[in-house]
Amino acid sequence: MFYYLFEYLDKMDVAGAGVFQYITFRTAMAVITSLIISLLFGKRIIDYLRKLQVGETVRDLGLEGQLQKQGTPTMGGLIILAAIVIPTLLFAKLHNTYIWLMLISTVGLGAIGFADDYIKVFKKDKAGLAGRFKIVGQVGIGIIAGAILYFNGEVTIKHKVYDEQGSVITEQVTLEDGSKVNRPQWEETGMTKTTIPFVKNNEFDYRWVLDWMGEKVADYTWIIYILAVIIIVTAVSNGANMTDGLDGLAGGTSGIIGLTLAIFAYLSSNLIFADYLNIMFIPNSEELVIFMGAFVGACVGFLWYNSFPAQVFMGDTGSLAIGGIIAVFALAIKKELLIPIFCGVFLVENLSVMLQVGYFKYTKNKYGEGKRIFLMAPLHHHYQKKGLHESKIVSRFWIVGIMLAVISIITLKLR
């Protein structure tokens, strides 16, 4: 909203109003506003949740300090959602398709998580929202996000054109001073192409999945693409949900991932950087940097109350939303194939549960007695069972997250 106000003031030659044209300034303002919302209103929301007796019900799993968390307010994800949505509405261009894509994903997945938390807390049903309804909701958001990315005409990518020898095709451009220079030729396409990490001058096109069946069949690439979006959104949102088991773990890890994605979005939205780094140029995606700035600010601000010992838990309201945000954002900037790297903590947490359950069932069917790979799953509980304090576990997971973030950024040049 402020963008349009200051754009008008800039036309009226009001001094300083033009600063709102800069993405970096508006991103900084979104981060600051997000932190202020988290810090100032977070306490009030926590007190209100306590008043409503929205406390966490904890099962005794034999973990040190676990029962001390009994009654800690949950549904703190409302703080995160407010700290993301409000700064985005204030500082982003609201006519931008990418912004509405992210807002729909945020509110939609947050609503699913809220329904789950509401049933657990107010209906006293520990199971929460039935798994099938949760999946239906995630699939629905995946379909909406996939349809917007695939069919919306404003969502496009540009990539360099290469000849048969793999050399960049150039075109002569006349500059403002009349001089002529050769610059790479860029081709605009739809969103079916994405970046393959560690591979130079190579892209994966979802169309290839059906190309071998003929052109008529390949016209249904949108089905393959939307299915991929559904799988990615569901997997990452559930991964974030699994990771939300220790004070500050999901919030801190998500903040690190968010900062990584903000860097990718900024570079991909700038033609000069995209040309230099030889990556896809995504027009109009610069507004995503503002959204992700608010996201990072929300995660960091939430840690003020969620770091050990936690005064509030994010609940599914927060964890499903932040996982879905990361997934849709990565899809929008064509970095979904990098998700296993920068979301490595989410991936390992998810895999630990799958391996534990799968191995237990296998050994029980084969030997009559179920065996376990880990002392307890998800993985962070395994280390708790080994006697590590949860603050040390969280810190080490953050360090791993930072390492994975650095590796992800290195892929821009390591090809």
C-beta of residue 317 within 8 angstroms of C-beta of residue 113: yes
pLDDT of residue 353: 94
> How do residues 217-252 score in pLDDT, each as one tens digit?
767 888 999 999 999 999 999 999 999 989 999 999
CA torsion angle for 331, 336, 338, 340 (degrees, to 10)? 120
Query: Which residue do the tokens 């939430």 mark?
Result: 302
Token pair of 244, please? 């939300």
pLDDT of residue 179: 72
- Angle at which helices 221-243 and 344-367 pack, to 10 degrees? 80
pLDDT exceeds 80 at position 58: no
pTM (predicted TM-score): 0.92
What does R_g of the chain's alpha carbons equal in angstroms?
23
pLDDT exceeds 90 at position 167: no
Band of pLDDT at residue 348, cut at 50, 70 and 90: very high
> How do residues 384-414 score in pLDDT, each as one tens digit?
999 899 999 999 999 999 999 999 999 988 8
Round to whole Å and give the CA distance between 6 and 406: 36
> How do residues 97-133 score in pLDDT, each as one tens digit?
999 999 999 999 999 999 998 898 888 777 788 888 9
Band of pLDDT at residue 206, cut at 50, 70 and 90: confident
The residue with greater pLDDT, 191 or 290, is 290
C-beta of residue 374 within 8 angstroms of C-beta of residue 348: no
